[in-house]
Amino acid sequence: MHRADNRGVGLSYNVGICFEDEKDMTKTDIAKDFFFKVVIPVFLAWFLFAMYERNGQPLERHLRNVIHLRYLQHKHRTYETENLYSVCAKQAKLLREVREIAGKN
């Protein structure tokens, strides 16, 4: 089954649970606290994992990339670029020295 096909099933299952026992769950304060502090955040997390997509990547792949780049990868990337101007300047200096040496003989 394709990932997009699962989205509607998960959402309908969660919504059905929310409204199925609404009268029973709202009778006491303990049930209200449990519902609002535990059940709703869990449903929202599952909803985000099912629906969120950025640059063609699902949320879990995107979070993995962010964690890898921010916390696991080295902060300082050491590399040197080749300065084309300095290479040309060195070559010109060498050519001048060769001409001076060749001109003296």
Dist CA 90 CA 97 (whole Å): 11
- The larger pLDDT score, comparing residue 63 to residue 24, is at 63
Dist CA 101 CA 104 (whole Å): 5
> What's the structural domain count of the chain?
1
Domain with 17 in it: 3-77
pLDDT tens digit string along 55-102? 888 999 999 999 998 898 877 767 777 788 888 999 999 999 999 998
In a domain, 54, yes or no: yes
- The larger pLDDT score, comparing residue 20 to residue 47, is at 47
